[in-house]
Chains A and B, each alone.
Chain A
Amino acid sequence: MQDDQGRFAASVLPHLDAAYNLARWLVRDGHDAQDVVQDALVRALRHFDGFRGGDPRPWLLAIVRNAAFAWLGARRSGEVDFVDHEHELDAALAMDAPPSDPESLAIRRAERREIDAAIAALPIAFREAVVLRELEELSYRDIARITDVPIGTVMSRLSRARHLLAAALRPDAARSLA
């Protein structure tokens, strides 16, 4: 028992910042994010027997992500009806939009506040992909596992998310973020 606790602490503590960061970006509120992470930790501890080694970070982040979505669902927060949302996403991705002008990807020097705002404005499926990839530097494979979608979907979402971010951070988009 004591061993289990030690193992749990050793597995989870190093990733507490990652867990909080993901929750914070998903629910977009510091206080709610704390509640979500604590909920996730309770679940993680309960299910720790099922964790058989490997990298604990994706395992923990998958639980945090589920807890965050449960929280958002219980709050009926707008984003929210993920199923409907996913349909929109699929439609958008299936459109196979024409390649945009390469020049349009150029971004102006953006400040932290602007970049944070651009990420926060992303649809949640894109947002979580960007946070897991760019802030937590997880592999496509781990992101696929955490968000429970195929690797190809992770790729599509990341690519799409980067287009949206580039659009939001384009020189002529300065005012829209203000």
Chain B
Amino acid sequence: MTDDDLWLDALLDDELDAPASLALQRRLAAEPALQRRLDERRALRDAIRTQATRHAAPDALRANLMAMLPSRGDASAAPDMAATAASRASAPASPGDAQAGTRGVPAGAREAQASTRLDAQASSPANPRAALERRGSRAGARRRMALPWLTGFGGALAATLCTLAVVDPAALGWRHGEAMASLQTAEASEAVSAHTRSLLVDHPIEVASSDQHTVRPWLSARLNFVPPVTDFAPQGYPLVGARRDVLSGETAAALVYRHGAHVVSVFVRPVDPAATRAAEATRVVRGFNVIERTQGGLAFCFVSDANPHELRTLADLVAPLTGG
């Protein structure tokens, strides 16, 4: 195990911050052996994600959970099977249980310390662990600070979770999908992570402008492809700006639109035209709606907590399937 492997894994796992990620991209471009190693690790990762069994909860377990809820008053009054399970396991509630729920404050204090300490080595790309701990600490701090203004967003998310609770798990294609779907889902999942992160960081937008004639040149100067950039304010989807992001280890353009209270990220990256067919996939990933579309040599990924219909309206504007 080498430090390179830690870096490559962190890149595949979408755990590097933007500067570290870009630094590694530059190394990959210059070192074919390193790129090959990344490809192999990605192949392994994809094989596991698409092939390994995700065990779905048996119906009986689900039913027992539902039966357990009405007797909330006294934990010992939990239904027979659950009580039996508890006694058979005869495991006292471990400190970990309480920890999981109550560690917020002290952990936060520790993080603050760690953050200060690690920031000293922050700009050194030679220490992936420090970079990660730092990134984690900051993400945590951001999350806490971001909570007040995320309340509305969280409410929408909670509503989505409630909805998911009553639908057949099979509806969540990412749990029971076929191999190909799972592979695409890995990308959708990365897109959702990037979208979520953009909502939590201080500067989700590198170029803030509703003027497509400002955004487009900015992107084309920094990317090796030119994504379509149009302001759809008249249709109710004003362009907010754009940034660069990294998906599946590749640099992508991220266009940011707003629709009502919802933020929509549109990730665009070039795909091999030979392998391209007009394709579309729609799914729900961790409560976000995701629409993936391949059109004209570009792969589009729309991510938002807006409802699927609203998201599709934007998709039809940005990348109409008719090719029009």
Taking CB atoms, residues of chain B closer than 8 Å to A34 are 58, 60-61, 85
B89/A107 in contact, CB under 8 A: no
Residue from B33, B43, B65, B101 in contact with A41 in the complex, judged by beta carbons closer than 8 Å: B65
The residues in A between 1 and 52 inclusive whose CB is less than 8 angstroms from any CB of B are 1, 4-5, 8-14, 16-17, 19-21, 24-25, 30, 33-39, 41-43, 45-47, 49-52
Report Cα–Cα, A35/B90, bound state, in Å.
Answer: 11
A contacts with B: majority SS? helix
Q: Give A128-171 as 1s and 0s: 1 = Cβ < 8 Å from B's Cβ atoms.
A: 00100111010111001100101110011011101101100100
Range, interface on chain A: 35 or more
B contacts with A: majority SS? helix
Residue from B1, B54, B57, B101 in contact with A96 in the complex, judged by beta carbons closer than 8 Å: B1
- A110: shortest Cβ distance to chain B, in Å? 6
A151/B136 in contact, CB under 8 A: yes
State whether the Cβ of B91 lies closer than 8 Å to any Cβ in chain A: yes
Residue from B90, B132, B186 in contact with A140 in the complex, judged by beta carbons closer than 8 Å: B132
B57/A17 in contact, CB under 8 A: yes
Residue of A73, A110, A159 ringed by the most chain B CB atoms within 10 A: A159
B41/A162 in contact, CB under 8 A: yes
A107/B44 in contact, CB under 8 A: yes
The residues in B between 25 and 63 inclusive whose CB is less than 8 angstroms from any CB of A are 33, 36-37, 40-41, 43-45, 47-49, 51-58, 60-62
Measured CB to CB, the residues of A under 8 A from B are 1, 4-5, 8-14, 16-17, 19-21, 24-25, 30, 33-39, 41-43, 45-47, 49-53, 58-59, 62-63, 66-67, 70-71, 73-74, 93, 96-97, 99, 102, 105-107, 110-112, 115-116, 119, 130, 133-135, 137, 139-141, 144-145, 148, 150-152, 155-156, 158-160, 162-163, 165-166, 169
The 5 closest A-B pairs by CB, nearest first: A50-B101, A70-B91, A20-B57, A13-B165, A38-B85
Measured CB to CB, the residues of B under 8 A from A are 1-2, 4-6, 9-10, 13, 15, 33, 36-37, 40-41, 43-45, 47-49, 51-58, 60-62, 64-66, 68-70, 72-73, 75, 78, 81-86, 88-94, 96-102, 104, 128-129, 132-133, 136, 139-140, 147, 154, 158, 161-162, 164-165, 169, 175, 186, 189, 193
